[in-house]
């Protein structure tokens, strides 16, 4: 979920609507059975035998492609980040309209009641759309003012529009269940609880209900094109049948109630285990651990400028803490927050001010907490995939360190919210990257920037539409452009013909309407082909296969056997302490709370006896604050003759993974040459692996 920057001056809003508090506006900007009636008998498997009447047209002809390519790979596009059910989030009245209704399209595609008769109380529109927020609230059948590419409060995921995207070649859709308790609590209109997990449960249920609704059009359970899947093999089979594989994810600010107040966690390990088990049982296979606010699991990547200040105020009022920044140690950054706003400070307690932030300090001091690491490892145990978008640089780095140490592929960047300098690390793990649904020019430029990396790792590309996610979508390039989308056009696979899409009395044209709703995804891809070229589209068409490769590798992951655990260890020295032992064996006892520490000088070593000659390919080192800047991994079969297998002169602490060619060795030595601090060398745990 991506939030837009406000387009309207807050003081003008306050003058017009004195009952609306500035805080409410600031935090809101943050964000983010009547069965079908029978129709004429259908002979094509992709055409329902009973569609609701009236309903939207699809305006795509031709059979959806089935099967795999000559290499046995599935084909098709992947939307790695969408919010089908976010109309049920934030108290249920922020996003207006439903993706389906058993009462029909007129009930599904109607505005929120407070938007009638002219949008005067459409508070969110004042901020996100500009002007006075007024609009024609009527949806079906006229759709005069919505959905639109720049209207962030109206339903974009009506089931028939998703059907059009599927018919146009999409084969994977990740439905991120989303909400934010703070937005819900301050928004004026709501009709249900603000508890985040309650909303997540409801959205999951309704996704299954939507699957059943579509099934009913095709003759019963399992027969529709919208298939919720819970493992990669199931997804591959669904796609081979020519249908859409739907995967459940979660994007929320306080998963499992893991909020922090004044730096005190409001959850524990039992809450995390229970929460992960519940989500897994619901079918969730990927999730974000933090979003917008720092929580008890991780620090967030900042929003920028004025919007960042607004969210910072919301964080303080929710948690009692502002964001804290530090100078970044690498090329990755967490975005500039912007200068403090005197208007924002009006809603803070007397004497409290928004901090000023140095321009050269753009990284969140908060990384992955101990509870966050417990959650990450819990997700690994359950073969779930971790979304790193919205995580701070420090938190992301630690997650990647953990995954590299464990050789775990399940890392996702689904909608352009990680620092792009992480891209190769994600690909090298076997992870998946998707770009936000930007306009075709911006999307194509970014796709080409990372094209060499995709070639290097032989992977496809994805997009994250973030529809219903309060982010904004591609604006029209105009009918007068030199290379407009020409209707009808042929789908990428060549088997379908796609014309302008009509719902009720409204027909959309991408040249003049842009990415108004989900049905325009095929049109947007055609626009990318015209602007960016066929190669960009070809990478996107390989997206479904690459996403499932990442998922499958996560499911098939097996924890390596640590050959060093419990083995005898010796060292050049050990720090003396009358209360705690820092003996060498503490680094191989399997307890991450104990450690070996050397004397405070350079040229120190820790030696591990594996007991017999083993094939060694990888060594992991979990450093305490006293880390090695320059050190070597040395191997020996006899304990006398040593060979350097790996070395670095730029160690930065944390969790390091040294990988090298398979080498026979009985003894492994970590040889510190240059300390990174004034202390000695200190290791919580050393792992030695054959694969």
Query: Residue 429: is its pLDDT beyond 80?
Result: yes
| 357 & 397 share domain | no
For residue 54, tell me if it sits in a domain.
no
pLDDT in tens, 241-298: 999 999 999 999 999 999 999 999 999 999 999 999 999 999 999 999 999 999 999 9
pLDDT of residue 7: 39
User: SS3 of 171, please?
Assistant: strand
| 473 & 607 share domain | no
For residue 152, tell me if it sits in a domain.
yes
CATH code of the domain covering residue 552: 3.20.20.140
pLDDT of residue 28: 42
Where in the sequence is the domain holding 663, given as residue range(s)? 569-689
| 440 & 478 share domain | yes
pLDDT of residue 493: 96
Query: Residue 387: is its pLDDT beyond 70?
Result: yes
* pLDDT tier for residue 342 given thresholds of 50, 70 and 90: low
Q: How many distinct structural domains can be found in the chain?
A: 3
pLDDT of residue 341: 58
| 506 & 379 share domain | yes
* DSSP H or E stretch at residue 457: helix 451-457
CA separation for the pair 475, 479 (Å, rounded)? 12
| 176 & 98 share domain | yes
End position of a domain, from candidates 502, 521, 556: 556
CA separation for the pair 309, 539 (Å, rounded)? 37
For residue 70, tell me if it sits in a domain.
no
For residue 562, tell me if it sits in a domain.
no
| 342 & 371 share domain | no
pLDDT of residue 2: 67
pLDDT in tens, 106-145: 999 999 999 999 988 887 776 666 667 789 999 999 999 9
Query: Residue 166: is its pLDDT beyond 80?
Result: yes
* pLDDT tier for residue 99 given thresholds of 50, 70 and 90: very high
pLDDT of residue 25: 43
| 257 & 348 share domain | no
| 147 & 106 share domain | yes
Residue 655 forms beta bridges with which residues? 622
- 168: which DSSP letter? T
CA 184 to chain centre: 21
> Which residue has better confidence, 130 or 374?
374
| 670 & 542 share domain | no
End position of a domain, from candidates 497, 530, 556: 556
* pLDDT tier for residue 343 given thresholds of 50, 70 and 90: low
For residue 65, tell me if it sits in a domain.
no
| 643 & 514 share domain | no
End position of a domain, from candidates 556, 591, 611: 556
| 617 & 484 share domain | no
CATH code of the domain covering residue 651: 2.60.120.260
| 260 & 395 share domain | yes
* pLDDT tier for residue 635 given thresholds of 50, 70 and 90: very high
For residue 127, tell me if it sits in a domain.
yes
For residue 357, tell me if it sits in a domain.
yes
Judging by beta carbons within 10 Å of its beta carbon (0-12, 13-18, 19+), is residue 678 exposed, middle or buried?
Answer: exposed
pLDDT in tens, 516-564: 999 999 999 999 999 999 999 999 999 999 999 999 999 999 999 999 9
pLDDT of residue 224: 98
Query: Residue 336: is its pLDDT beyond 90?
Result: no
| Across 59-63, 171-175, 340-344, least confident range | 340-344
For residue 83, tell me if it sits in a domain.
yes
Query: Residue 9: is its pLDDT beyond 50?
Result: no
Please count the CA atoms within 13 angstroms of the CA of 383 that sit on its side-chain side.
14
pLDDT in tens, 14-43: 344 434 444 444 444 444 433 344 444 447
User: SS3 of 630, please?
Assistant: strand
């Amino acid at each position: 979920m991506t939030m837009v920057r406000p387009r309207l001056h807050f003081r003008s809003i306050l003058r017009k609507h004195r009952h609306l508090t500035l805080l409410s506006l600031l935090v809101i900007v943050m964000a983010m059975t009547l069965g079908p009636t029978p129709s004429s008998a259908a002979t094509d498997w992709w055409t329902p035998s009973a569609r609701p009447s009236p309903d939207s047209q699809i305006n795509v002809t031709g059979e959806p492609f089935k099967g795999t390519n000559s290499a046995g790979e599935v084909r098709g596009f992947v939307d790695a980040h969408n919010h089908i059910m976010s109309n049920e989030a934030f108290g249920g009245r922020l996003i207006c309209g439903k993706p389906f209704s058993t009462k029909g399209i007129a009930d599904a595609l109607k505005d929120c009641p407070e938007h009638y008769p002219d949008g005067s109380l459409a508070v969110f529109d004042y901020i996100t759309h500009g002007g006075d927020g007024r609009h024609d609230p009527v949806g079906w059948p006229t759709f005069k003012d919505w959905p639109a590419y720049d209207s962030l409060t109206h339903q974009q995921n009506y089931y028939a529009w998703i059907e059009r995207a599927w018919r146009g070649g999409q084969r994977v859709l990740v439905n991120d269940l989303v909400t934010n308790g703070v937005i819900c609590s301050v928004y004026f209109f709501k009709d249900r609880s603000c508890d985040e997990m309650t909303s997540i449960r409801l959205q999951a249920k309704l996704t299954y209900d939507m699957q059943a609704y579509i099934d009913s059009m095709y003759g019963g359970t399992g027969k529709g094109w919208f298939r919720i899947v819970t493992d990669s093999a199931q997804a591959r089979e669904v796609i081979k049948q020519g249908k859409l594989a739907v995967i459940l994810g979660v994007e929320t600010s306080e998963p499992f109630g893991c909020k922090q107040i004044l730096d005190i966690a409001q959850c524990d390990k039992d809450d995390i285990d229970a929460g992960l088990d519940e989500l897994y049982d619901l079918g969730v296979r990927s999730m974000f651990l933090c979003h917008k606010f720092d929580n008890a699991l991780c620090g967030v990547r900042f929003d920028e400028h004025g919007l960042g200040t607004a969210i910072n105020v919301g964080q303080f009022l929710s948690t009692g803490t502002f964001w804290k920044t530090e100078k970044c140690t690498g090329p990755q950054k967490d975005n500039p927050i912007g200068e403090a706003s005197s208007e924002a400070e009006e809603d803070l307690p007397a004497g409290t001010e928004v901090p000023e932030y140095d321009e050269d300090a753009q990284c969140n001091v908060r990384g992955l907490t101990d509870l966050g690491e417990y959650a990450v490892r819990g997700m690994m145990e359950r073969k779930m995939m971790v979304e790193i978008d919205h995580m701070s640089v420090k938190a992301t780095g630690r997650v990647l360190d953990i995954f590299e140490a464990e050789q775990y592929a399940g890392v996702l960047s689904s909608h352009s919210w990680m620092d792009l300098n992480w891209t190769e690390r994600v690909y090298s793990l076997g992870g998946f990257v998707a770009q936000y649904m930007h306009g075709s020019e911006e999307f194509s430029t970014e796709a080409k920037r990372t094209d060499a990396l995709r070639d290097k790792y032989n992977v496809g590309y994805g997009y994250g539409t973030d529809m219903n996610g309060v982010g904004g979508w591609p604006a029209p390039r105009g009918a007068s452009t030199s290379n407009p989308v020409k209707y009808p056009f042929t789908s990428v696979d060549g088997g379908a013909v796609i014309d302008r899409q009509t719902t009720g009395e409204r027909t959309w044209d991408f040249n003049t309407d842009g990415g108004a709703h989900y049905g325009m995804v095929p049109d947007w891809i055609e626009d990318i082909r015209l602007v960016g070229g066929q190669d960009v589209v070809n990478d996107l068409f390989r997206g479904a296969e690459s996403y499932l490769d990442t998922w499958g590798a996560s499911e098939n992951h097996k924890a390596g056997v640590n050959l060093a655990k419990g083995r005898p260890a010796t060292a050049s020295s050990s720090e003396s302490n009358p209360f705690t032992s820092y003996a060498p064996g503490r680094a191989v006892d399997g307890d991450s709370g104990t450690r070996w520490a050397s004397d405070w000088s350079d040229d120190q070593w820790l030696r591990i006896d594996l007991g017999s000659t083993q094939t060694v390919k990888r060594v992991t080192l979990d450093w305490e604050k006293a880390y090695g800047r320059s050190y070597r991994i040395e191997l020996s079969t006899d304990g006398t003759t040593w060979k350097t297998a790996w070395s670095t002169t730029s160690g930065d602490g944390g969790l390091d993974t040294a990988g090298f060619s398979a080498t026979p060795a009985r003894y492994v030595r970590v040889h510190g040459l240059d300390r990174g601090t004034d202390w000695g060398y200190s290791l919580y745990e050393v792992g030695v692996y054959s694969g």
